[in-house]
């Protein structure tokens, strides 16, 4: 069993030859998370391809096209457990045309690993990965300076990358950045401490992931409860039962709390908080519960319960950072379905304020087209009010997606400013 049984979700980003797949393979291999039949299959493939030794990178190949082309196309999820923690890796492709997959992987991550080739230092792609990590407000960033074996394990090469990265990241909103010199190929500082870099006093990567403080990553202050569905059991003993089912987005709710229903503004008190295992005194993020109130109020999916002394903004006009995810560019003044928490509305992109050049971070106010992988600040107008917080304060109530009704595809991801 795991003692410190928390779950840590992290994403990995790197350029094509930065050794990302090798790093993941190394983490899984050295933490003994690869099964014998999987290893056997990788050994066979390595031999067939004429590789020397076992190519750990093959472990992360998934779809047939990915194996054939030797690249990652879609987000793949990997799992491993150590005596300290359970981990979920969102393995995302690094190439620019897959920015949308990187955004997807980043959206649920507590930590991001950004790989930098020690020989090349910080390059355009590194800046893009760091920008996306900061845009998606990933709480912890670990910059792994890889291929240290190819620069003679030189401390100078490591320090160079740090100063290059810090020059750039000063412009970004990142709270916690760490730097670890590694060799994914040889295993230095991945799971085991490197014997080739005595000058590095910090912890290896796995130890860092195992001990990083993540309990404070969730917003514990602003109590928000988007209602997913209403439970009205038509059975003996529960005739008047009306439970509002949902998952606490942030903060803490307790029986007896004064709450306000948004956007209607009705107020009531929490009668009790229910679960299958029985009533609980308090519910906090990310618990799934059902809440019953003292008064009968008209509440349905899409409404949000908040504590009366701490409400969200309620508005039909929101400014968001929008990342366009679809081949089809945004249509001028077109209406989209907007989904924000459990709420569905129609929305129109009223104005594109600027587009960000994700390589230089410069704002371009002249280019207003929203095409695949573009990130723009826009103004949205919705048909009915949304209950919103800024994404910086709340990753659940500050995020939204746009769906094109003509194709039903998810075309954009938005972070409320």
Partner 1 sequence: MSKYYLNYLDELESEAIYVLREVWAQFQNPVILFSGGKDSIVVTHLARKAFYPSKIPFSLMHVDTGHNFPETIKFRDDLVKELGANLLVGSVQESIDQGRVAEEKGKNATRNALQITTLLDAIESHKVDCAIGGGRRDEEKARAKERFFSHRDEFGQWDPKNQRPELWNIFNGKYFQGEHFRAFPISNWTEMDVWNYIRRENIAIPSLYVAHEREVVWRSGAWIPNSEFLVLEPHEEVVTKKIRFRTLGDITITGGIESDADTLDKIVDEVSTMRQTERGNRSDDKRSESAMEDRKRQGYF
Which parts of 296-315 interact with partner 1 (CB under 8 A)?
A: 301
Distance separating alpha carbons of residues 171 and 316, to the nearest angstrom = 30
Q: Does residue 24 belong to the site contacting partner 1 (CB under 8 A)?
A: no
The span of 140-148, 175-183, 192-200, 393-401 binding partner 1 (CB under 8 A) equals 393-401
Q: Does residue 371 belong to the site contacting partner 1 (CB under 8 A)?
A: no
**Least separation, in Å, of the C-beta of 62 and partner 1?**
4
**Least separation, in Å, of the C-beta of 12 and partner 1?**
14
Q: Give whichever of 70 and 233 is closer to partner 1, judged by the CB atom.
A: 233
Q: Does residue 37 belong to the site contacting partner 1 (CB under 8 A)?
A: yes
Q: Give whichever of 122 and 400 is closer to partner 1, judged by the CB atom.
A: 400
DSSP code, position 331 = P
Q: What is the CA radius of gyration of the chain?
A: 24
Q: Measured between alpha carbons, how far is residue 310 from residues 68, 212, 257, 305, 340 in Å?
A: 53, 30, 12, 11, 19
Determine contact, residues 154/181, Cβ cutoff 8 Å: no
Q: Give whichever of 356 and 400 is closer to partner 1, judged by the CB atom.
A: 400
Residue from the set 172, 186, 241, 297 that interacts with partner 1 by CB under 8 A: 241
Determine contact, residues 60/76, Cβ cutoff 8 Å: yes
Q: CB-side exposure of 164: number of CA atoms within 13 Å?
A: 20
Q: Does residue 220 belong to the site contacting partner 1 (CB under 8 A)?
A: yes
> x/- contact string, 255-274, with partner 1 (CB under 8 A)?
-------------------x
205 exposure class (CB count in 10 Å sphere: 0-12, 13-18, 19+): buried
The span of 36-44, 112-120, 261-269, 353-361 binding partner 1 (CB under 8 A) equals 36-44
Q: Give whichever of 182 and 291 is closer to partner 1, judged by the CB atom.
A: 291
The span of 31-39, 153-161, 307-315, 371-379 binding partner 1 (CB under 8 A) equals 31-39
> x/- contact string, 87-126, with partner 1 (CB under 8 A)?
-x-----------xx-xx--xx------------------
**Least separation, in Å, of the C-beta of 289 and partner 1?**
9
Distance separating alpha carbons of residues 92 and 100, to the nearest angstrom = 10
Q: Which of residues 156-215 bind partner 1 (CB under 8 A)?
A: 215
Q: CB-side exposure of 279: number of CA atoms within 13 Å?
A: 10
Q: Which of residues 328-357 bind partner 1 (CB under 8 A)?
A: 337, 339-342
Alpha-helical runs (H) found in 49-139: 64-69, 99-107, 124-135
Q: Does residue 46 belong to the site contacting partner 1 (CB under 8 A)?
A: no
Q: Which of residues 52-81 bind partner 1 (CB under 8 A)?
A: 61-65, 67, 73-79, 81
Q: Which of residues 121-160 bind partner 1 (CB under 8 A)?
A: none
Alpha carbon 158 to its chain centroid, in Å, reads: 27
**Least separation, in Å, of the C-beta of 251 and partner 1?**
9
Determine contact, residues 30/56, Cβ cutoff 8 Å: no
């Amino acid at each position: 069993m795991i003692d410190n049984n928390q779950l840590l979700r992290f994403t990995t980003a790197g350029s094509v030859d930065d050794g990302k797949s090798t790093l993941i393979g190394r983490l899984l291999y050295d933490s003994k998370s690869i099964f014998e039949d999987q290893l056997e299959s990788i050994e066979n493939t390595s031999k067939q391809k004429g590789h020397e030794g076992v190519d750990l990178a093959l472990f992360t190949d998934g779809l047939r096209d990915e194996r054939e082309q030797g690249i990652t196309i879609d987000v793949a999820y990997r799992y491993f457990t150590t005596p300290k923690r359970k981990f979920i890796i969102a393995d995302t492709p690094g190439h620019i045309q897959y920015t949308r997959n990187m955004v997807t992987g980043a959206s649920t991550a507590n930590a991001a690993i950004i790989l930098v080739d020690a020989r090349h230092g910080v390059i355009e792609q590194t800046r893009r990965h760091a920008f996306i990590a900061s845009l998606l407000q990933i709480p912890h960033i670990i910059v792994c300076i890889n291929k240290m074996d190819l620069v003679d394990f030189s401390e100078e090469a490591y320090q160079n990358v740090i100063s290059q990265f810090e020059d750039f990241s000063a412009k970004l909103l990142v709270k916690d950045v760490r730097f670890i010199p590694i060799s994914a190929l040889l295993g230095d500082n991945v799971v085991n401490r490197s014997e080739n870099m005595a000058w590095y006093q910090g912890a290896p990567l796995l130890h860092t992931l195992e001990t990083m403080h993540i309990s404070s990553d969730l917003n514990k202050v602003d109590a928000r409860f988007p209602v997913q569905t209403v439970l009205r059991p038509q059975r003996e003993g529960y005739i008047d039962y009306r439970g509002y089912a949902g998952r606490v987005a942030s903060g803490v709710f307790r029986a007896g709390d004064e709450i306000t229903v948004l956007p209607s503004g009705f107020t009531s008190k929490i009668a009790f908080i229910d679960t299958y295992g029985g009533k609980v005194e308090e519910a906090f993020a990310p618990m799934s519960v059902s809440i019953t109130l003292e008064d009968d109020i008209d509440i349905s999916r899409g409404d949000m319960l908040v504590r009366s002394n701490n409400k969200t903004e309620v508005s039909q006009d929101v400014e968001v950072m929008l990342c366009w995810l679809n081949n089809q560019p945004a249509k001028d003044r077109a209406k989209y379905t907007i989904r924000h928490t459990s709420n569905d509305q129609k929305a129109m992109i009223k104005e594109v304020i600027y587009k960000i050049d994700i390589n230089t971070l410069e704002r371009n106010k002249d280019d207003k087209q929203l095409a695949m992988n573009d990130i723009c600040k826009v103004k949205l107008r919705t048909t009915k009010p949304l209950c919103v917080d800024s994404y910086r304060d709340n990753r659940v109530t500050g995020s939204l997606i746009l769906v094109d009704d003509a194709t039903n595809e998810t075309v954009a991801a938005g972070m409320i400013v």
